[in-house]
Amino acid sequence: MKLAQILRSNRTPLIAEWVRRLQTEVSPRYSQRPTEELFQTVSPVYDANLAVVLKNDFSRIDAHIEWITRLRLEGGFSLSEVQNAYDLYRKVLTPILVRQLDPGEITGALKKIDACLLYTIKRFSNFYQSLHEKEIREHAENLKREVEKRTRELSESEGKYRVLVEEINDGYFVNQRGRIVFANRAFADLHGYLLEEVVGKPYIDFVAEESRPQVEKLYRQRMSGRETADLYVYFRRHRNGRTLPTENKVKRILFRDGNAVAGICRDITERIEAERRIRESERLAHIGRLTASLAHEIRNPLSSVKLNSQIILKNMTFGGNDQRRLEIIVQEISRLERILDEMLDFARPVRLNLKKASLNTVLDSCLEIIEARVKEKTLTVRKAYGARLPRILIDEEKMEQALINIFLNALEALPPGGGLAVSTRALRAPRRRLQVVIDDDGPGLSPDDLPYVFNPFFSNKKNGTGLGLFNVKKVIEAHGGAVEIALCQPRGTRVRLTLPWGD
């Protein structure tokens, strides 16, 4: 069955599933929208995507984006909420394509779907941001006129002015002679301070070290009356020492007894992260296609070499070390096949067969599989499982693959007589999750390697592919969870997994 026929014949159930998942998976805001409205927004974007995929016609999706952006902005939706809503198109469609298309057709179909979705999300993000920027410009101009009006009209109370500014959701501040002379609560919150701690402090204290030259230069230019950019991006400094990407919209104004700079600052961490994820997904998709193609090309001749080597080893008698040499050849071919499996796991998307299961039972099963290697190295395994943990929705097979990968990494690092500790517990705040912690007392990782351990093809092992932990992360995140690696004190490595615990 071709892609066009699948998309047309499954239109009604796919739209219904899309709407259902909008109401249950994206955000509380979507859950509160009427079902009828969601059908009215999902149906045209489904048809617009169909026009892109089958006819390369982008006109309908462009028109839809302009309409839905204004609708969602008015509804108070964030950029990431709508991006996640668009991404559901791929999630509801992929299982049907896998079932109904021939294996050779799936890659091409998914490529078309991904290209359509990438165009849609990029176009929406840009249009959404342009409207936001327009709102900021209009708001800043209105705010400037309001401040000037209130300065001229001395009879107006400063209390009303403060109420107006406090109602702004973004951070608002007035910088006069290099110090904050006025700020709203949102500005204080963005920087991790109480409002009373902000007023009177040098403005530059709220700017990260790497952005200070840029911000100071723009401030001097603006105060001298020279034309300069009103909107710029810099890194703000949070009280806890973190530096966070921020967008500033500023104007020179009259405030009390002289010139000052009024500004509206907005946290853009979410936007920057969304752009990073889009770039990363494009890069990984390209690497994945190359990897899958290479793995398939290697697997067939490798299988032939292995089969013939096994036949020769079984049917012939060798002298000296020749038989051992042939056994080594077969073992190394098996190792290459395992590497190819890891490469294919990296290239293909994770599809889960979710069923309720006990996480403690899955861990015990994994420990049984590696029991022989544990005894061989005389290792000690300590278990501290939480009692009466709830059963959760997981794909047992893929979860076992991920956990075994973690255990094998620990076994390779541990010296004979070393120890491995496995614990589980239920977390209820800030949201319900199950946590698995796996500690070893091996030599540990280099602190310089920690930021890169989940990157594909990064490995400090002599024969490592660098795909094991990447695939672990992919499986855990496909379950809606998270995985972290940290150093233990005084030595060793800790792997922490968290998985959602639903009803």
Decide if 285 is inside a domain. Answer: no
- 171 beta partners: 265
Q: Which long-range contacts (CB under 8 A, 24 or more apart) does 267-276 make?
A: 267/190, 268/233, 269/244, 269/245, 270/78, 270/79, 270/80, 271/79, 271/125, 271/129, 272/245, 274/79, 274/80, 274/83, 274/125, 275/125
Decide if 280 is inside a domain. Answer: no
Q: Is the domain of 325 the same as that of 366?
A: no
Q: Is the domain of 243 the same as that of 180?
A: yes
pLDDT (0 to 100) of residue 159: 54
The backbone torsions φ and ψ at residue 228, rounded to the nearest 5 degrees and listed phi first, read: -150, 170
pLDDT (0 to 100) of residue 276: 75
pLDDT (0 to 100) of residue 269: 86
Q: Which tens digits make up the pLDDT trace of 47-75? A: 888 888 888 888 888 888 888 888 887 77
Which phi-psi region, left, alpha or beta, contains residue 67 (left: φ > 0; alpha: ψ -120 to 50)? alpha
Q: How many CB atoms lie within 10 A of CB 279?
A: 10
Residues of the chain short of pLDDT 50, as ranges, are: none
| CB within 8 Å of 36: residues ≥ 6 apart | none
Q: How many CB atoms lie within 10 A of CB 483?
A: 21
Q: Contact at 8 Å (CB) between 443 and 491?
A: yes
pLDDT (0 to 100) of residue 297: 66
pLDDT (0 to 100) of residue 201: 93
- 202 beta partners: 179
Q: Is the domain of 441 the same as that of 470?
A: yes
pLDDT (0 to 100) of residue 383: 92
pTM: 0.41
Q: How many CB atoms lie within 10 A of CB 323?
A: 13
Decide if 141 is inside a domain. Answer: no
Decide if 381 is inside a domain. Answer: yes
Q: Is the domain of 320 the same as that of 421?
A: no
Q: Is the domain of 89 the same as that of 216?
A: no
Which DSSP state fits 208? Answer: -
Q: Is the domain of 373 the same as that of 475?
A: yes
pLDDT (0 to 100) of residue 48: 84
Domain of residue 460 covers 355-500
CATH of the domain at 60: 1.10.490.70
Sign for the CA dihedral angle at 80, 81, 82, 87 comes to: positive
Number of domains in the chain: 4
CA-CA distance, 266 to 170, in Å (whole number)? 6
